[in-house]
Structure 1
Amino acid sequence: MSESSSLTMISVYEEDQLLNRVTQALAQTQGPPALNSAERSALQRLARKLKVRRIQRRNALPVFDLDMKARQICEKHLIRAQGAGPVARRERQNHRESPMFDSSSDASVTSSSRVLDRFQFTDDPRHWRPSGLLSPVSHLIPKDAIWTVRQSPYTGRELKPFIRRDQESLPLKLKLHQELKTAITGRSCKRYPVDFCYFTPHHVRTINGMANQFFWPGIDVTENLQYPDFSCVALYRQMVVGFAFLVPNVSHTDAYVSFLFVHPDWRRGGIAKFMIYHLIQSCAGRDITLHVSANNPAVMLYQNFGFKVEERILDFYDKYLPSESKECKHALFLRLSR
Structure 2
Amino acid sequence: MASAPHVILRAKHLLCPLCETSNTAALLHPSTDQRSLVCPQNHTFDIAKQGYVNLLPVQQKKSLTPGDNKEMVLARKKFLGLGYYQPLVNALIESCTQHLSTIHHGSNQTASPVILDAGCGEGYYTGELHNALAIQYPDLTTYGFDIAKPAVIEAAKRNKSLNCFVSTIKAIPIAPQSCDLIISVFSPMQPSQFQRLLKPSGNLMVLCAGKNHLHQLKSLLYDNTSDYDEDKFLAQMDSHFTLSKRIAIQQTMAMNSNHDILSLLAMTPHFWRTSPEAKKQLDRIQQLAVDIDVQLLQFTPKHPAAQDANNSGT
TM-score normalised by the chain length of structure 1: 0.29
Larger Rg belongs to: 1
Q: Which has the higher helix share?
A: 1
TM-score normalised by the chain length of structure 2: 0.30
- Larger relative contact order (CA 8 Å, sep ≥ 6): 2
